[in-house]
Structure 1
């Protein structure tokens, strides 16, 4: 299948072969300080939706032609949540534009925030905890089971950015998601010129990731990563 993003050969895979690239899990961690969500819920939800599409894309299940999401592989993904997302996409008789998928996955009907949280609970990285409210019954929240593991992603990204090293393929995509969703503000302590460089670098990863990020930017009105 020919795509407007070009051939995917020559680009390194995200993480080692056989391991599912859990981009949404790391984005979820970066958006929280312990159980506290530090960015707007709707914004992180659409970012998580994009992260799930990026996971499937980097594992060669999806690509993008113009603005439409196309299936490139129908074998069952080894990850249960990825399988759920792919099943949703396969259920449509015709290709659907990326922005529509981002809206659908982040909306209450699919509830990507809860879906990613449940994946982290299954992996043992989160536990569900009650959160008290001034009015009304308590709501469920999520707390990391290991604070060191939860903060490791932030430390890793900051170290690479501050020392001017090149990000690996996985973190290159993760940085793009952070910039698009505003999560970068609580992750990076770097000056503005470094953030702009990270924005440009994050768009130089394997297709169709740059296209997915551009659609995310337009949907949320982001200008940082592309300025």
Structure 2
């Protein structure tokens, strides 16, 4: 049997391109807050894209149409659920309290088919090993468990001790893989010449050696080289 190698490559590239475009249209929620239904939709879309690659040229456009339908429907449904509370609760469900004041709600676990081993695993991932220490635990619609510990079991914070803390903020990445990100330098009001001088002071004369460089809100420069350790 002859294999249409060039046709498979072309159709695979086209399917990949269309899938990339369509998934960008879906947005990030399908990944960051994936429900069981979103998971099934994602698998189906991937299966259709694979079928498009292996299908003959006559069936390619049929597969593309089917893929478009499976992409458009979640977009429309997402638009509807954003505007309708009732439909959103039907499609996505609601979070459920499964622990209240150190007591597990067995009926809620049974209703969501969530066994005690799954619960304990989820609690440990939140740093909660003793159910008695938990004020509330909520089973989210994506299967995650959110935990609020009792006040006497919560860790101390600087605010609890009336300690002043400096502002930390997020560091700014100004170099990646040997490339200077000039617009990031402008954001932190620094120049390319300043950065090169700082690198030379650290014995770095070739910027292509730099894997990543960041500057924090206190003005401290962190440099990690491709071959050596951080400086």
Q: Which has the higher contact order (CA 8 A, sep 6+)?
A: 1
Q: If each structure's strand is expressed as a fraction of its own residues, which one has the higher value?
A: 2
TM-score for both structures, normalised by structure 2: 0.21
TM-score for both structures, normalised by structure 1: 0.22
